[in-house]
């Protein structure tokens, strides 16, 4: 391997390493909840700090034929309250069907403390039969006064 690297010019070697790093980051990014995955107030999974009374906006991606859906699989009603009914928001300016959209759910922080909000992808029957596992995304929420 060392002999193969020695034959490369320095700019080519640096470009190759840069490309390898970019590819590795892209692959790792695909494993995370960033990008087109569930978002809470514009960010992927992780910790949020909010105040009592703050309303958080949860956006969950839907696929083109609206078969992709999500459910809130865990939240503590002592700390979080659902605001209104979930709805679908267009992300491409077109109305469904055939348009891209997101399920939008809003939650309000009720009292100080630490809690979590977890969403789970709802799989189609075909996906269940094939053994696919649903994506689960967890948001940690710290609520201050």
Between 138 and 68, the more confident residue is 138
Predicted local confidence at residue 67, as pLDDT: 56
Q: Is 103 exposed, middle or buried (0-12, 13-18, 19+ CB in 10 A)?
A: buried
* C-alpha–C-alpha distance, residues 87 and 8, integer Å: 55
pLDDT at residue 23 above 50?
A: no
Split at pLDDT 50, 70, 90, the class of 16 is very low
Split at pLDDT 50, 70, 90, the class of 80 is very high
* C-alpha–C-alpha distance, residues 40 and 69, integer Å: 16
Beta strands of the chain (E only): which ranges? 39-40, 46-51, 55-62, 69-75, 80-90, 101-109, 113-122, 136-144
Mean per-residue pLDDT, 24-44: 50
Q: pTM (2 decimals)?
A: 0.63
Phi, psi of 130 (to 5 degrees): -75, -10
The residues, any chain, with a CB within 8 Å of residue 82's CB and separated by 6 or more, are 72, 105, 106, 107
């Amino acid at each position: 391997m060392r002999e193969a690297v020695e034959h490369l010019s320095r700019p080519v070697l640096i470009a190759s390493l840069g490309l390898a790093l970019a590819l590795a980051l892209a692959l790792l990014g695909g494993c995370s909840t960033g990008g087109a995955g569930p978002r809470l107030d514009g960010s992927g999974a992780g910790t949020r700090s909010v105040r009592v009374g703050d309303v958080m906006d949860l956006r969950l991606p839907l696929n083109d034929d609206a078969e992709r859906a999500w459910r809130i699989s865990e939240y503590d009603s002592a700390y979080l309250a659902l605001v209104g009914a979930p709805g679908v928001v267009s992300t491409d300016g077109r109305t469904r069907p055939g348009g891209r959209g997101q399920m939008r759910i809003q939650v309000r922080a009720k009292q100080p403390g630490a809690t979590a909000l977890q969403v789970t992808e709802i799989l189609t029957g075909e996906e269940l039969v094939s053994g696919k596992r649903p994506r689960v995304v967890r948001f940690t929420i710290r609520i201050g006064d």
